[in-house]
Chains A and B, each alone.
Chain A
């Protein structure tokens, strides 16, 4: 009897196994043979961004009915590695939408190719300012269809309540934050988690204090860290910021907890959840300071089997007026094209027009040209890590600045 049961048992397992193995062969993604599929790699994950992508795809497929646009989400941490490894196996997507700090490795690894020829023949190329061109040794490896940048979001209602004005200098900012703290509110929220994001957040502040990648000195950094630790000490900024990415600080601001938030234009949608009057002003930094023009870069994949189609796709989506305005609508990014940026939609919007203003007055290219291309990732990560340490109070400003310089200077020398 045990024999029979065992035999049945084994038989069942065998059948089950066969069934499963048969199923495993079927991988869901099988494309039809009469349509061309354009694969686009990106790391957009919010609802608004995804909707924008769908809209762009729809407008493209309306003109090219035999094409399917397939968006493939790759987590930002894996993006460069995946693209580079794929290039090593001589495969890759048709289009890449990547972060600017990835331009150099992607180019060197052969995942993207120079686009000078294509761009040279592109009719609208003059609409794009030089600041959004990603060049390595003069060769063009990508163009940003839009820019994201930082501004000072303020809670108008709270300012009215505490009797504060929108600051134009750091000293004024601190004065208002003191009033906010006295009234039991947070003064400011910003990003402080270790990594690239914190470099981006910190850039306006440390350049304002006189730091530059071209001539790195410890003193301006120490000054910046002193400012940060001062803010934490006086209760304007929570030490918890040392764990925040860019979403949490804005959610806190939108919930009415803080007078100011150092955050970006893409929060326009999230800002609408706020139950108070708000506005944006340029960051109250000195003329030495600048704001990095972030946002993603677009290029055709080097191993694309449909390069011309891919180029058309980019030209009619990320690089076109309509496409850029769609992106503006859905995730608040500022169009790179001059004609799109001067659209009345932007000029009339109180928030967007301020951001365009910031682009003009404080915008700086990203990555910073003084940083050797091959060390961009490391430099940005390092500077970001130290910003995080400063916010957390993991060392005195002088000590942290010296430690940072010790590791940074060799990297900046190249």
Chain B
């Protein structure tokens, strides 16, 4: 029994089962790192340069726009400095609290279901049979389709005359159909679930790779010791996948947070503003209301809400370095 709870086997030299954050933080590296560190950082220069020019500069522009009154009409004239007015207007707007809640709900649903689903799928298709390969293959293919296509097809499937409602009607549901996409209570959940559906294949793929690295001997030993499938999952697979899970969690949260295409295609943030998240609100303000300053402020506030996660990630890296 004890061997199953020891976590992934860790022979001293190879790094088979500890990918990601738990890098080679060994004394050996530290010894020469002072010199080599500088040297190797240079490899990151090209990327850094391009990012500064084409990613940070737009971010600065965004910041600048958020403290000025900038609309489509005034974009090309002098911008009026308004300090925090845009932010104040946003915070005072009646749609704001709902948008914040929607954003959090959305991110939580997509992340939790995306991660748990991805892991479950990875475990379920871990057998090297043809069927499992095809299944995973199909799923990743669906993931690779443009969101506008996936979103549109789900819009059909979830409509009043769509497949899901027809099935529900056949099973005795109400003839009016369930308003998956237009009931104010359900709209957000529907879009979030579709978004989670869209991200599960990717997570499953990454998890699967991580799980494949689990030493089969450990699993066999566990089984010999009498551990059933759930025990094996809990005590061998999950701990093994933890580092991967951390990276994936961050990536999934970011993906969920930025998500715009699905909301745009399926509900347009509606009905009314029932499924509007902060990033979507930023889009509406900038491109539909043509208030670039307001949109920028919204985008940055949304960013601030999630920056905490970036700090956790960085702290996690630092902690694993010290391990």
**Given A239-B182, A392-B182, A403-B94: A87 touches B159 (CB 8 Å cut-off):** no
Query: A385 touching B182 by the CB < 8 A rule?
Result: no
CB-defined contacts of B184 to chain A, threshold 8 Å: 389, 392-394
Q: Report the minimal beta-carbon distance from B319 to chain A, rounded to whole angstroms.
A: 36
Q: Which of B73, B74, B274, B289 contacts A394 (CB 8 A)?
A: B274
Query: B76 touching A105 by the CB < 8 A rule?
Result: no
Q: How far is the CA of A238 from the CA of B183 in the complex (A)?
A: 12
Within 8 A of A (CB), among B39-80: 71-77
Q: Which of B76, B176, B271, B286 contacts A242 (CB 8 A)?
A: B271
A196 within 8 A of B: yes
Name which of B73, B77, B181, B287 has the most chain A CB atoms within 10 A of its CB.
B73
Query: B270 touching A388 by the CB < 8 A rule?
Result: yes
Against A, the Cβ 8 Å flags (1 = close, 0 = not) of B268-285 are 111111100000000010
Name the residue of chain B whose CB is nearest to the CB of A110: B76
Q: How far is the CA of A196 from the CA of B181 in the complex (A)?
A: 19
B288 within 8 A of A: yes
Q: Which of A85, A239, A386 contacts B272 (CB 8 A)?
A: A386
The size class of the interface chain A forms with chain B is 35 or more
Query: B284 touching A239 by the CB < 8 A rule?
Result: no
Q: Report the minimal beta-carbon distance from B187 to chain A, rounded to whole angstroms.
A: 8
**Given A77-B288, A81-B290: A105 touches B71 (CB 8 Å cut-off):** yes
Q: Report the minimal beta-carbon distance from B93 to chain A, rounded to whole angstroms.
A: 8
Query: B94 touching A104 by the CB < 8 A rule?
Result: no
Name the residue of chain A whose CB is nearest to the CB of B292: A81
B interface majority secondary structure: loop
CB-defined contacts of B72 to chain A, threshold 8 Å: 80-81, 84, 102, 105-106, 108-109, 377
Q: Which of B183, B271, B286, B287 contacts A389 (CB 8 A)?
A: B271
**Given A378-B291, A393-B184: A243 touches B270 (CB 8 Å cut-off):** yes
Q: Report the minimal beta-carbon distance from B169 to chain A, rounded to whole angstroms.
A: 14
Query: A389 touching B272 by the CB < 8 A rule?
Result: yes
CB-defined contacts of B223 to chain A, threshold 8 Å: none
Name the residue of chain B whose CB is nearest to the CB of A79: B287
A192 within 8 A of B: yes
**Given A88-B75, A105-B290, A108-B77: A394 touches B284 (CB 8 Å cut-off):** no
**Given A105-B72, A108-B77: A378 touches B182 (CB 8 Å cut-off):** no
Q: How far is the CA of A378 from the CA of B72 in the complex (A)?
A: 12
A2 within 8 A of B: no
Q: How far is the CA of A80 from the CA of B287 in the complex (A)?
A: 8
Query: A374 touching B73 by the CB < 8 A rule?
Result: yes
Query: A392 touching B76 by the CB < 8 A rule?
Result: no
Within 8 A of B (CB), among A88-143: 88, 102, 104-110
Query: B291 touching A85 by the CB < 8 A rule?
Result: no
CB-defined contacts of A394 to chain B, threshold 8 Å: 184, 271-272, 274
Query: B284 touching A109 by the CB < 8 A rule?
Result: no
B179 within 8 A of A: yes
Name the residue of chain A whose CB is nearest to the CB of B286: A81
Query: B75 touching A381 by the CB < 8 A rule?
Result: no
Query: B71 touching A374 by the CB < 8 A rule?
Result: yes
Q: How far is the CA of A88 from the CA of B71 in the complex (A)?
A: 13
CB-defined contacts of B75 to chain A, threshold 8 Å: 84-85, 88, 109
CB-defined contacts of A80 to chain B, threshold 8 Å: 72, 290
Provide 13 A-B residue pairs closer than 8 Å at the C-beta atoms, listed in order of the A residue: A105-B71, A105-B290, A108-B74, A108-B77, A192-B271, A196-B288, A239-B182, A242-B182, A378-B291, A381-B289, A385-B272, A392-B272, A394-B184
B residues adjacent to A (C-beta < 8 A): 71-77, 93-94, 159-160, 176-177, 179, 181-184, 267-274, 284, 286-291
Ranked nearest first, the 6 interchain pairs of A and B with the lowest CB-CB distance are A389-B272, A392-B271, A108-B73, A105-B72, A242-B271, A194-B270
Known interface pairs A242-B272, A243-B267, A388-B270; 11 further A-B residue pairs with C-beta atoms within 8 A, sorted by A's residue number: A80-B290, A81-B286, A102-B72, A109-B73, A239-B183, A242-B270, A378-B289, A381-B289, A392-B271, A394-B271, A394-B272
